[in-house]
Amino acid sequence: MISYLRRALAVVLLSASPAFAGTYDLVIDRTAVRIDGQERRVFSINGQFAGPTLRWKEGEEVTINVTNRLTEDTSIHWHGILLPFYMDGVPMVSFAGIKPGETFTYRFRVRQAGTYWYHSHSSGQEQEGMYAPIVVEPTKGERYKVDRDYVVMLSDQHAMSAGAILRKLKQEPGYFNDRRRTLPGLIRDLAKAKSPEERQRIIRDRLDWGDMRMDPTDLADVTGYTFLVNGRGPSDNWTGLFKSGEKIRLRFINGSAMSIFDARIPGLKLRVVQADGQDIVPIEVDEFRIGVGETYDVIVEPREARAYTIHAASIDRRGAARGTLAPRPGMSGPIPEMRPPSLLTMADMGMNHAAMAGMDHSKMDHSAMAMPTDNADGLVHAPPVNASPGERVLGYRDLRRLDRTYPLKSPDRTIELRLTGNMDKFFWSFDDRKYSESPTIDFVEDETVRLVLKNETMMNHPIHLHGIFMDLDNGAGDDRPRKHVVIVPPGRSVAVTIQMTEVGRWPFHCHLMFHMMTGMFREFVVHPRGAPLPVTTAPHSEGGSHVHKH
């Protein structure tokens, strides 16, 4: 009798309140902050910039009340978090957005652990400060015991509003490129050339780029950003304290609007233990590339009681986010010299001259460029970083999963999506169609789909899928890692396999904000098995992409 009562009581308690539940209140407002001494108006969360870190526990039932004190709509998207799609926070896809003066309550159970982040998915608020970290502690506690645990949130801040930047890009796509190739540059290169063949190559290269009406120095659509660590500028110098001999976990998050970084801490080996919130087989590197939306946890063990510089250079090398690890506040480590950017080559554009001999240049346009085929080298990339000899740079092929609790399934079908765009009019698309022209791609619950992403543009695109992880086809076989963002380099292909386990409408887009805003966006609609909704559209019947059945 007593045991029966006790059991009944336990059932009542458990069903009334889950093992643990937390309520979090977030207020969105505009706040003036100082970045490197300059006043900037940003979107703040609870008056903070960058916003407050949300610390959850795996299994926790979270309730988050988001209050909008702006004069415009807002939203919060939980980047990398598995949840019911109507809690995903994307206006017009998962919900109606949060109107001025309104409070929206998000509720979901946290089904995962790791480093993630949250940000606005409305207009340009993300660039203007509305982003913050999420740290979810595993049920069994952290896998690695460390003495210090810091978030290193990288971001980019601009004096111009997102709206003003987009206007300039639409008027003059090359507006922000202040490193275009010049005639004196050509003369200098020719004078430096050691042989007639080299001179010929230089001229040929100029002609090829001219023929495509493009510029190899076009590595970033927008320049003029100040790069931040945890909302602090390079001179503000965000500092994390340590005592020598301590183990420090640094949770790198790239919360930028438009900037991909190459990050390093000269003098320290970086033991990468997690990528996109997923534990990986630890790997020691000197440098890693982090795309917009990606996260990497690294563990460092500084042995000397001195200042170490956290240096994350934008891939166009126009600047770097800088922070410091130091035994005392106010210390500065040496700032590493900026390495030259890796300019695009004809190979990045899917061309090489051996294969092009005899090709008629006049008949070639950039939409018809020969792209590399699905070989291993095209599918996985080591970032083209100008590392010093002997230094190791993390590449996607180095990522191997630790979590063995889920099976990797072989795909039921393959879809190819081309990453496309019009650089001259500044709009971006998949399969030459903007979101407004081809909103959805339909799937059925539990089907497994191989997605081949073929980049036909000259930009790196960090492609993000909401709500469902992608198993990255990086040549690691059964060790393939799970990611929520994959960078697809210029002229290359990347393949992922997706198990459509989560029903709903999931945004799939380039995480470069202005690419997303101008059309590089789709909804992946995962229909419930047994109760399929009418297929919304057939975007690929005319779009030029191919659906293969296995």
Q: Which stretch binds other proteins (CB under 8 A): 58-66, 211-219, 321-329, 448-456?
A: 211-219
By CB under 8 A, residue 99 contacts other proteins? no
- Binding test (CB under 8 A) with other proteins, winner from 10, 14, 21, 207: 207
Which H/E stretch holds residue 211? Answer: helix 196-212
By CB under 8 A, residue 362 contacts other proteins? yes
Which H/E stretch holds residue 203? Answer: helix 196-212
Residues numbered 441 to 460 that lie near other proteins (CB under 8 A) are 445
By CB under 8 A, residue 62 contacts other proteins? no
Q: How many CB atoms lie within 10 A of CB 432?
A: 16
Please, what is the minimum distance in Å from the beta carbon of residue 524 to other proteins?
12
Please, what is the minimum distance in Å from the beta carbon of residue 92 to other proteins?
5
Residues numbered 363 to 422 that lie near other proteins (CB under 8 A) are 365-367, 422
By CB under 8 A, residue 518 contacts other proteins? yes
Please, what is the minimum distance in Å from the beta carbon of residue 362 to other proteins?
7
- Binding test (CB under 8 A) with other proteins, winner from 107, 148, 170, 397: 170
Number of residues that bind other proteins (CB under 8 A): 52
- Binding test (CB under 8 A) with other proteins, winner from 86, 147, 188, 377: 86
Q: Which stretch binds other proteins (CB under 8 A): 4-12, 221-229, 375-383, 431-439?
A: 431-439
Show the DSSP H helices in 278-425 as ranges: 353-356, 376-379
Q: Which long-range contacts (CB under 8 A, 24 or more apart) does 162-169 make?
A: 162/123, 162/124, 162/125, 162/126, 162/127, 162/128, 162/257, 162/513, 162/514, 163/123, 163/124, 165/124, 165/127, 165/222, 165/514, 166/124, 166/514, 166/517, 166/518, 169/221, 169/222, 169/426, 169/514
Please, what is the minimum distance in Å from the beta carbon of residue 28 to other proteins?
19
Token digits for 329? 């506040």
The Cα angle at residue 43 between residues 37 and 46, in degrees rounded to 5: 100
- Binding test (CB under 8 A) with other proteins, winner from 289, 318, 434, 466: 434
By CB under 8 A, residue 503 contacts other proteins? yes
C-alpha dist (Å) from residue 154 to 54, 58, 259, 262, 294: 17, 25, 9, 11, 10
What 3 state SS string does 255-300 have? CCCCCCEEEECCCCCEEEEEECCEEEEEEEECEEEECCCCEEEEEE
The Cα angle at residue 189 between residues 184 and 195, in degrees rounded to 5: 145
By CB under 8 A, residue 158 contacts other proteins? no
Q: Between 111 and 243, whose beta carbon lies closer to other proteins?
A: 111
Dist CA 122 CA 442 (whole Å): 24
Q: Is 366 helix (H, G, I), strand (E, B) or coil?
A: helix
Please, what is the minimum distance in Å from the beta carbon of residue 525 to other proteins?
8
Please, what is the minimum distance in Å from the beta carbon of residue 217 to other proteins?
10
- Binding test (CB under 8 A) with other proteins, winner from 40, 158, 179, 540: 179
Terminus-to-terminus CA distance in the chain, angstroms? 59
Dist CA 175 CA 278 (whole Å): 38
- Binding test (CB under 8 A) with other proteins, winner from 6, 213, 269, 546: 213
Q: Are 215 and 209 in contact (CB under 8 A)?
A: yes
Q: Which stretch binds other proteins (CB under 8 A): 233-241, 261-269, 362-370, 383-391?
A: 362-370
- Binding test (CB under 8 A) with other proteins, winner from 196, 330, 358, 530: 530
By CB under 8 A, residue 211 contacts other proteins? yes
- Binding test (CB under 8 A) with other proteins, winner from 505, 524, 543, 545: 505
C-alpha dist (Å) from residue 3 to 7, 17, 18, 287, 365: 6, 21, 21, 59, 78
- Binding test (CB under 8 A) with other proteins, winner from 200, 424, 538, 544: 424
Residue from 261, 241, 245, 264 nearest 253 by CA: 261
Please, what is the minimum distance in Å from the beta carbon of residue 36 to other proteins?
23
By CB under 8 A, residue 175 contacts other proteins? yes
Please, what is the minimum distance in Å from the beta carbon of residue 86 to other proteins?
4
Token digits for 183? 């005639």
Q: Which residues bind other proteins (CB under 8 A)?
A: 84-86, 92-94, 167, 170-172, 175, 178-184, 207, 210-213, 362, 365-367, 422, 424-425, 427, 434-436, 439, 445, 503-505, 516-519, 521, 523, 525, 527-528, 530-531, 533, 536
